[in-house]
Structure 1
Amino acid sequence: MEALLWTTAIVVAIALGMSYPGWRLKRALAQPFPPAWLNILERNIPIYRRMQPELQAQLQRLVQQFLFQKKFVGCEGLEVDDEIRVTIAGQACLLLLNRFTRVYRKLHTILVYPSAFLVPRNHADEAGIVNPVRQELLGESWGDGRVVLSWDHVQRGAGDWTDGQNVVLHEFAHQLDSESGSNNGAPFLGHPGSYRNWSEVLSRDFNNLRHEAMFHRQSVLDHYGAVSPAEFFAVATETFFEKPWQMAERHADLFDQFLQYYRVDPRAWLAPPAPEPDAGHEPEPPSYGTVYGQWQ
């Protein structure tokens, strides 16, 4: 009888263990990285081939965890396949390299539209009258654990890794920003003493970008970052990963803050750009979801 009780207890323990999320995640991460997924990373993340083997292995593991834990939903008839899932996960997980992380712990769902999508907004006219409008967006990060993306623009970001515009990096930077408790351009930095330098540098460069945007002056940072501190952090993240050489040259202090925060140096993955001639006015910035806030 006693042996039977022990056997029953062991069976129950094994059954409970197999259903425990941590055990299932460990089992998923123990699986070899599928060759088809590797092909997608190499194809849609141009810098992947130039990353050190340790970072490639890290990214693969992060992608496996991301895909195990997050749900993808296709919208407007879009059928979500591995091309979509791995491309988005791979770009999003670039922001998590070299750090202990629960892989966007508050995020649970990624909604993917075939192209730019419309969202309802309230717009106040010159008389102060608020009217409902529908705004076209490329991506949006929500505080309830969801990110919305346009697959067409995800592909564009994957196709050009030097233009400083990447909707996945942008929206997932917002997710990191929100982990500190609010979307205000000051993500969790790990140590309270880090916020003083962060605030001084980002506030100064944010105000400079607002001035440049007001007078349509050329900047390595997209003028959309002048909308708010939260958008500045997201735009600067895009610039850090796609235009690191230009950012380091023209915004040395800002680049140094992001170097400390993201713990990688994308200059190792991208060749220095050729000198650019003076350009005219900046083109209109892309329309991402706007989140307002301020540095603390």
Structure 2
Amino acid sequence: MLQALIVLLTVSLIAVGIFIQPLLQRQHRERLKKQPLPPLWRALIEQNLPIYHQLSPNQRQRLQGHIQVFLAEKQFIGCRGLQVSEEMKVTIAAVACLLLLNERSTYFPKLKSILIYPDAYIVKQPAANGPYVVEERQEVRLGESWSRDQVLLTWQEIQADARNWRDGHNLILHEFAHQLDQEDGKAEGVPILKKRTDYVRWREVMSNAYDQLCQAVGRRYPTVMDSYGTKNPAEFFAVATETFFEKPRQLRAHHPALYTELEQYYQLDPAAWG
């Protein structure tokens, strides 16, 4: 009897914890959002996020709140001797949190750590060389998004992206779009959508735009989106996200259905920004 009561009490406490924990987290996040942004952070955002002043006052305020939460919850680790600075953390948070302005109320929940390299790094990848031989090859990379708990970025590339916002390439947007895609445990170019019926339209629009890009690249036609998007649907979503924020008018002109789908998902209209 005593054992049964102990088990029942334990289960009850776990159930209460499951209910209370998200509530406490939401309350803590709301408190963070209301804190004034340090002047240094504001200056860094204005310096390294070129489209910051194109946002509406309400969007800027919400972005600042998301940045506060992001910086409080994520760990930043310098690699290869790099000392992580306030500029690095705030810049990464500011760009990444653009993707959260659709008020999805999540903050890349699987992500715990952001590893920052000073510049391109090398990884060793197994590669098949014939039916029975597997060898290790070295690959140079600028960033990665892991489905478990990490994003890897290079500061040199982030600085270049801040100086060239309209070139359609943005490492932070790319890797954090992967994080959105990987929230459900799969990397297939389909983030979590609001309604079940949204998935049919998403897959139709994305598949058509992906096929168009593959055909254009195959025929060596000029494209608005980077050819890296032809690698697979997951990379296409990440590349489309970069293009949506950095070359919105060109994307809208060449792929109107894709632009509309991303506009509805991110709840933003970058083509209207200045």
Same fold? TM cut 0.5: yes
Structure having the larger proportion of residues in helix: 2
Matched ranges for 1:174-189 at <5 A: 174-189=178-193
Structure 1 position 103, deviation (Å): 1.2
2:9 match? none
CA distance in 2, matches of 1:183, 1:247: 23
Q: 1:256 to 1:61 in 2, by over 3 A?
A: same
Give the number of equivalent residue pairs. Answer: 252
Equivalent of residue 237 in structure 1, options 235, 241, 249: 241
Residues 25 and 68, structure 1, Cα contact 8 Å, conserved in 2: no
SS at match of 1:179: helix
Q: 1:25 to 1:259 in 2, by over 3 A?
A: closer
Residues 145 and 151, structure 2, Cα contact 8 Å, conserved in 1: yes
CA distance in 2, matches of 1:93, 1:261: 14
Q: 1:125 to 1:209 in 2, by over 3 A?
A: farther
1:252 match? 256
Ranked by relative contact order (alpha carbons within 8 Å, sequence separation 6 or more), the top structure is 1
Residues 263 and 269, structure 2, Cα contact 8 Å, conserved in 1: yes
Residues 33 and 64, structure 2, Cα contact 8 Å, conserved in 1: no
Matched ranges for 1:133-172 at <5 A: 133-172=137-176
1:44 is aligned with what amino acid? N
1:54 match? 58
In structure 1, the gaps of 5 or more residues are: 1-16, 271-296
2:159 is aligned with what amino acid? Q
Structure 1 position 245, deviation (Å): 0.1
CA distance in 2, matches of 1:190, 1:267: 23
Q: 1:222 to 1:128 in 2, by over 3 A?
A: farther
SS at match of 1:73: strand
2:88 match? 84
Matched ranges for 1:1-296 at <5 A: 24-125=28-129, 129-270=133-274
Residues 115 and 153, structure 2, Cα contact 8 Å, conserved in 1: yes
Q: 1:124 to 1:193 in 2, by over 3 A?
A: same
Structure 1 position 23, deviation (Å): 5.6
SS at match of 1:148: strand
SS at match of 1:72: strand
CA distance in 1, matches of 2:109, 2:231: 27
Q: Deviations over 1:54-78 (max 9, x none)?
A: 0000110000000000000000011
Structure 1 position 25, deviation (Å): 4.2
In structure 2, the gaps of 5 or more residues are: 1-20
Larger deviation, residues 47-56 vs 95-104: 95-104
Residues 224 and 235, structure 1, Cα contact 8 Å, conserved in 2: yes
CA distance in 2, matches of 1:39, 1:256: 32
Structure 1 position 143, deviation (Å): 1.0
1:34 is aligned with what amino acid? P
1:100 is aligned with what amino acid? R
Residues 32 and 65, structure 2, Cα contact 8 Å, conserved in 1: no
